[in-house]
Structure 1
Amino acid sequence: MDKNIDWTQARGFLATAEHGSLSAGARALGLTQPTLGRQVAALEAALGVVLFERVGRSLVLTPAGQEMLAHVRRMGAAADALAMAAAGRSDNLEGRVSITASDAMSAYWLPAVLADLRKTAPGIIVDVIASNAVRDLQRREADIAIRHVAPKEPELIARKLPDVPAYLYASADYLYKNGTPQTLADFQQLDFIGFDADASGVDVLNRHGLPVTQAMIRATSSSGVAVWEMVRQGLGVTVMVETVARNTPEVVRIMPQIAPVMVSTWLTVHREVHTNRRIRLVYDLLAAALEADVRQM
């Protein structure tokens, strides 16, 4: 047995254990499944033990794996703390900053802000993590997060930004073919593109005063970009935040008599990296851009 533990292999084991499969662990680490599988196999070979057994389509920790997991979690916490401390004390305005935001915000809002950032600090390399899942800033899955929920972790610093209104939109082509709805009766004849495949999405819209019925749902996707592209190409109507819609001239706001859905926005960062000049610059620029956009609405 090799007594020197490779942290890359240990991190691969930790991701697999916490996410329940090689495929999910690989996605979390930004690796391919075969690469992660080789890392776990190499760790098992180095330790001389079997860490996982396959049960159906899932991987289950063996007793040796359970014992190893507790130690590797402590290694991970120490590595995260070290990385945070180092990042927080860096005064270099050159280097990488990772930002996580929803896929729609990443595609339709962030690029213009990043163009301004490049003029201000051309040495900063931005890694945009376009994901609708909440990334773990404590694990350094991102440096900065644009979230629609307030963080609960005490280690995170969150700046509450002005709520962003979301309205109903359709493409001009869709309205030309189907007519522009004027009344609630007209609205209920429209094709709606939803973000959730089950009835919970309709319930959320109803609670916000939008009279959407399950019968109106003609397509759904968990991807905001996919939903928005379906709307742009005339498949139906949806609700979208104004920060995205204002950058899409092909769409038209409809039913102005319906009150907007107000979407909370939180700009979040780990307190250790908040003192990093490079990350703080990007953080402040994102906050200023979001606040300016809301003021212009």
Structure 2
Amino acid sequence: MDWSHVEFDWNHVRAFLVTADEGSFSAAARALGIAQPTVGRQVAALEAELGVTLFERVGRGLALTPTGLELIEHVRTMCDAAFRVSRVAAGQTLSLDGPVCITASEIIATYLLPPVITKLRTRHPGIEVEIIASNAALDLRRREADIAIRSFRPTEPELIARKLRDNEAYLYAAPKYLRTLGTKLTRDDFARASFIGFDRADTYRKGLVALGLPLTAKNFPLLSQSQHVQWALVREGAGIGVMVSEVGDADLSVRRVLKDLPPLTFPMWLVTHQDVHTSRRVRLVAELLAEELGRPGAARAKVAIP
């Protein structure tokens, strides 16, 4: 087939690539943040442009046809090249005015970033900031964000990582919940407590056991990967949950559980792509984030309630 005169619509190409990675139109729609019918139309449009069939149905999912398998790696190469052009172009700009996209976990994005972004906008009103609050690690190589605040150091050689500090997190609960456990609580008393976990993996529980709490899987009847949901459950009195001290200590609706319990610690890393890091705008925003977030308590959360 002669494809020399085919003109690609990059939205169609992206829909094809993400659908191939995710295995269904519905999953691709969630990953792209668009409606499922839109993804289906974009893939169908690409198939019409090329005159081929790219997917076939397998159960409830989709599988690449032989033609789709032949094309997918070429499409990945094209997309990687396009993303690199975009990163390099962004890195060469000398203007401070324009957009910067920052991704961070829900808690950092909600409680720690707002005062920093407010200060940034006061100093540089021409900088437009998009904040993606996600506990997933977005791909900076694909320009899903310009700057990431992460709790782990990336391993990709093209990413530049700077450790800002170690965060301390403690266990918190509403006073009304703690009263159901009794007075003068000891660590053994928490064997009958309800904790709010992230998922069914055992990492969090084992970390608490290492601190001396006699917990089993039965102590985690409530699970949510959303930090906002977890914290709402803690404040409502549904159980015990973990939170960074800057947020937990400032919230008057909860109190620390077992004040002599050592903190759970995790690092805070500021990450950029080496190509984008050459942008004057991105460097300025990254430096302000490093300065403000690198000092414990500098972005103290204002979440106290009567």
Greater shift in the superposed pair: 167-176 or 114-123:
167-176
Q: Over aligned residue pairs, what C-alpha RMSD do you find? A: 2.1
- Whether 1:138 and 2:132 are equivalent positions in the alignment is no
- Whether 1:54 and 2:57 are equivalent positions in the alignment is yes
Q: Determine the C-alpha separation between the residues in 1 that align with 2:164 and 2:19.
A: 35
CA change 1:48–1:296 in 2 (3 A) is: closer
Aligned-partner residue type, residue 15 of structure 1:
V
Aligned-partner residue type, residue 162 of structure 1:
R
- Asked if the contact 2:187/2:213 (under 8 Å) is kept, the reply is no
Which of 132, 148, 152 is 1:129 aligned to?
132
Aligned-partner residue type, residue 276 of structure 2:
V
Q: Determine the C-alpha separation between the residues in 2 that align with 1:29 and 1:62.
A: 22
SS of match in other structure, 2:192: coil
SS of match in other structure, 2:294: helix
Deviation at 1:182, TM superposition (A): 3.0
- Asked if the contact 1:164/1:294 (under 8 Å) is kept, the reply is no
Structure 1 alignment gaps of length 5 or more: none
Give TM-score, length-normalised by structure 2.
Answer: 0.90
Greater shift in the superposed pair: 81-90 or 179-188:
179-188
- Whether 1:229 and 2:232 are equivalent positions in the alignment is yes
Deviation at 1:295, TM superposition (A): 7.5
- Asked if the contact 1:97/1:279 (under 8 Å) is kept, the reply is yes
Deviation at 1:244, TM superposition (A): 3.2
Deviation at 1:257, TM superposition (A): 1.3
Q: Determine the C-alpha separation between the residues in 1 that align with 2:179 and 2:205.
A: 26
Aligned-partner residue type, residue 230 of structure 2:
V
Per-residue CA distance 1:237-279 (angstroms, 9 max, x = gap): 1111224324533221121211111111111100111111211
Q: Determine the C-alpha separation between the residues in 2 that align with 1:181 and 1:152.
A: 46
Q: Determine the C-alpha separation between the residues in 2 that align with 1:205 and 1:278.
A: 42
Equivalent residue runs for 1:52-201 within 5 Å: 52-176=55-179, 178-179=181-182, 182-201=185-204
Q: Determine the C-alpha separation between the residues in 1 that align with 2:146 and 2:119.
A: 19
Structure 2 alignment gaps of length 5 or more: 301-306
Q: Determine the C-alpha separation between the residues in 1 that align with 2:77 and 2:105.
A: 30
Q: Determine the C-alpha separation between the residues in 1 that align with 2:172 and 2:139.
A: 32
- Asked if the contact 1:108/1:247 (under 8 Å) is kept, the reply is no
Deviation at 1:143, TM superposition (A): 0.8
Q: Determine the C-alpha separation between the residues in 1 that align with 2:62 and 2:250.
A: 44
Deviation at 1:30, TM superposition (A): 2.3
- Asked if the contact 2:113/2:299 (under 8 Å) is kept, the reply is no
SS of match in other structure, 1:161: strand
Q: Determine the C-alpha separation between the residues in 1 that align with 2:246 and 2:62.
A: 41
CA change 1:102–1:58 in 2 (3 A) is: same
Deviation at 1:159, TM superposition (A): 0.2
Match of 2:259 in 1: 256
Q: Determine the C-alpha separation between the residues in 2 that align with 1:10 and 1:174.
A: 52
Give TM-score, length-normalised by structure 1.
Answer: 0.92
Greater shift in the superposed pair: 275-284 or 139-148:
275-284
- Asked if the contact 2:235/2:253 (under 8 Å) is kept, the reply is yes
Per-residue CA distance 1:60-96 (angstroms, 9 max, x = gap): 1001101111111111011111100111011222221
What percentage of residue pairs aligned between the two structures are identical? 50
CA change 1:296–1:50 in 2 (3 A) is: closer
SS of match in other structure, 1:109: helix
- Whether 1:271 and 2:257 are equivalent positions in the alignment is no
Per-residue CA distance 1:98-149 (angstroms, 9 max, x = gap): 1111122222222222222221222222111111111110011111111111
Q: Determine the C-alpha separation between the residues in 1 that align with 2:201 and 2:25.
A: 28
Match of 1:13 in 2: 16
Matched residue count: 297
